[in-house]
Structure 1
Amino acid sequence: MANFSFQRGILPPSVGVRQSWAIAGAPSESTYLAIHVKKDGQWKLDSVRETEIPDGPAASLALQELAWLVGEWGSEDPDAPLSASVTWTKNKAFLNYSFKVSAPDVDDLEGTQVIGWDPAAGTIRSWLFDSDGGFGEGTWTKKDNAWIVRFSQVLPDGRKASATNVYTMIDANTFTWKSIGRKVDDEFLPNVEEVKIVRKTSARPAKETNTGVEKTRSRDAKK
């Protein structure tokens, strides 16, 4: 299938431009620009420039490296029960990560983290909101098979927290998570040691237990 227009505009009467787009079969789409020159009363092709159109939205393409997170996840440590569910939004523009963390003698902490591509900054970012009323954002950087998330958060009481969270992919059904450099205002908190997280089902890669990740939790801060 093709579409084209023949343009004269402000060009000399002897020069014309033909700009088109075409879909070759199903998988490939491209545009091309053809310049025609009129000689001896006939239009003749002078030059052609073709440009391939990338498949899918830029956000979807950028997030493919995190597609393995999609699915249902849970920790193996009975003393630190947590669960997470990661799904794509429409058009795979964002990854939606819902999580739940349980701990003795306190209400379960639940939250949602949205992971997306920031075209202005040219990087993957995330935005997190939890059931305690805290919210924050992170910047994702890949190093080998690990994703390093520099996270900052506003706690429910107004204090500011920060941490570096590391997600390391072990295989398609396993990854580890740890949080280091944790800080609330000017006070440093103990690191969260590496936690092993496994896929509950083989349905799809899920998003890590963001719950642990994006969390310099307010409860931690109060300790």
Structure 2
Amino acid sequence: MTKVNGELRQWEGTIMIRLGCVILSIASGLAAKAVAADFDPAKLEQIVSSSAEKYVEAFQERDSKKLAALFTEAAVYIDGDGAVFHGREAIQAEYEAYFESASKGELKLELTVIRPIADNVIIEEGVSEFLPEDDGPVSLTRYAATHVQQKDGEWLIAGVRELAPAEMTNHERLKALQWLIGSWNEEVPGRVITTEWTWSADGSYLIARFSMMTEDGTGRAGTHRVGWDAQRKQFRSWVFDAEGSFAEGTWADRDGGWEITLAATLASGESATGVLRYERDGEDAMIVSQLRRVAGGESVPDTETRVV
């Protein structure tokens, strides 16, 4: 298996590890840079993602009381028609009325912006997607929510405003990953990898140009493009290196991190697969895990690296 292992080491250096230098874990997906001194991006993501998970869980259970409990006593909810529901009781009553008449279905929340405006106030923006169990149309609604920390430390929703329903552009969806833009450097045993991320000219993709230099002076380079797949409703990656290897992957938000399932064809013609997992670690670093890798039918041990 010497040939396979050699190709695998090259693949790890230019595709798997390269991706590991640059891809976000967004709690759930996503976050803007923190401007409040007391919060780093990972903490902000945890707060808002936890609230979103509780909201979706209560909504799926059609539990209006549990939903209302996520709001402050004096919260304000403004729906897409401009109707205002003031206070927790009014919000609960509105949910009860909605569940009595609305079809059952699946709710998904896609967080696009998480922005602190004070030490105890966070603004969340996103898109809600409702897929009815029957054959009714899918509903997409933009929204903005304000989270306020209570005296006991709990975070509750102080306000929600539904905005005009609209499909997000690819650029708007990719804003969840725009923290990637800039230079990244990674030093791992035997090699140094540098990556520069930019927007594509039309703003529909994020593009990385990466290079690797080994300790014996050997260099390799390649590109990595990330876009939105409107059919699959998920991010996709396309990676190419100068030696002829290439990989394609799909993204999934799991357990507070992003996992990218990759399938590669090496320059030798061998196939390789693997999963990359990214969890953000503070404002300027992330934890990169390489999981379930197989090349030429041979398993490769998992790894975990902190990248800055």
Partner Cα distance (1:92, 1:147) in 2: 22
**1:123 equivalent in alignment to 2:240:** no
Q: Which residue of 2 aligns with 1:6?
A: none
Q: Tell me, yes or no, if the aligned pair for 1:95 and 1:115 is still in contact at 8 Å.
A: yes
For residue 93 of structure 1, report the CA deviation from its aligned partner.
0.4
For 1:151, the aligned partner's letter is L
For 1:129, the aligned partner's letter is F
Q: 2:198 aligns with which of 83, 87, 91?
A: 87
Q: Which residue of 1 aligns with 2:244?
A: 133
Partner Cα distance (1:76, 1:184) in 2: 24
Q: Which residue of 1 aligns with 2:170?
A: 59
Give the secondary-structure state (helix, strand or coil) at the position aligned to 2:202.
helix
For residue 97 of structure 1, report the CA deviation from its aligned partner.
1.1
Give the secondary-structure state (helix, strand or coil) at the position aligned to 2:279.
strand
Higher relative contact order (CA 8 A, sep 6+): 2
Alpha carbons of 1:144 and 1:58: their partners in 2 closer, same or farther (altered >3 Å)?
farther
Q: Which residue of 2 aligns with 1:42?
A: none
Q: TM-score, normalised by structure 1?
A: 0.59
Per mean C-alpha deviation after superposition, the further-off stretch among 116-125 and 140-149 is 140-149
For residue 89 of structure 1, report the CA deviation from its aligned partner.
0.8
For residue 52 of structure 1, report the CA deviation from its aligned partner.
3.0
Q: Tell me, yes or no, if the aligned pair for 2:191 and 2:215 is still in contact at 8 Å.
A: no
Work out the percentage of aligned pairs sharing the same amino acid: 27
Partner Cα distance (2:194, 2:291) in 1: 21
For 1:168, the aligned partner's letter is E
Q: Which has the larger radius of gyration?
A: 1
**1:113 equivalent in alignment to 2:227:** no
| Greater fraction strand | 1
Partner Cα distance (1:173, 1:117) in 2: 24
For 1:98, the aligned partner's letter is R
Moved segments of 4+, more than 6 Å: none
Q: 1:151 aligns with which of 250, 257, 262?
A: 262
Give the secondary-structure state (helix, strand or coil) at the position aligned to 1:156.
coil
Partner Cα distance (2:171, 2:251) in 1: 15
- Long gaps (5+) in structure 1: 1-50, 199-223
**1:165 equivalent in alignment to 2:276:** yes
- Long gaps (5+) in structure 2: 1-162
Q: Tell me, yes or no, if the aligned pair for 1:99 and 1:111 is still in contact at 8 Å.
A: yes
For residue 145 of structure 1, report the CA deviation from its aligned partner.
4.1
Q: Tell me, yes or no, if the aligned pair for 1:75 and 1:196 is still in contact at 8 Å.
A: no
**1:194 equivalent in alignment to 2:304:** yes
Q: Tell me, yes or no, if the aligned pair for 1:75 and 1:195 is still in contact at 8 Å.
A: no
Q: Which residue of 2 aligns with 1:21?
A: none
Partner Cα distance (1:101, 1:146) in 2: 26
Partner Cα distance (2:193, 2:180) in 1: 15
Q: Tell me, yes or no, if the aligned pair for 2:209 and 2:223 is still in contact at 8 Å.
A: yes
Q: Which residue of 2 aligns with 1:220?
A: none
Partner Cα distance (1:79, 1:187) in 2: 23
Task: Give the number of equivalent residue pairs.
Answer: 146
Alpha carbons of 1:178 and 1:100: their partners in 2 closer, same or farther (altered >3 Å)?
farther
Give the secondary-structure state (helix, strand or coil) at the position aligned to 2:244.
coil
**1:184 equivalent in alignment to 2:295:** yes
For residue 91 of structure 1, report the CA deviation from its aligned partner.
3.4
**1:174 equivalent in alignment to 2:285:** yes
For 2:198, the aligned partner's letter is T
For residue 156 of structure 1, report the CA deviation from its aligned partner.
0.5
Give the secondary-structure state (helix, strand or coil) at the position aligned to 1:178.
strand
Alpha carbons of 1:101 and 1:178: their partners in 2 closer, same or farther (altered >3 Å)?
farther
What is the root-mean-square deviation in Å for CA atoms of aligned residues?
Answer: 2.2
Q: Which residue of 2 aligns with 1:213?
A: none
Partner Cα distance (1:58, 1:170) in 2: 28
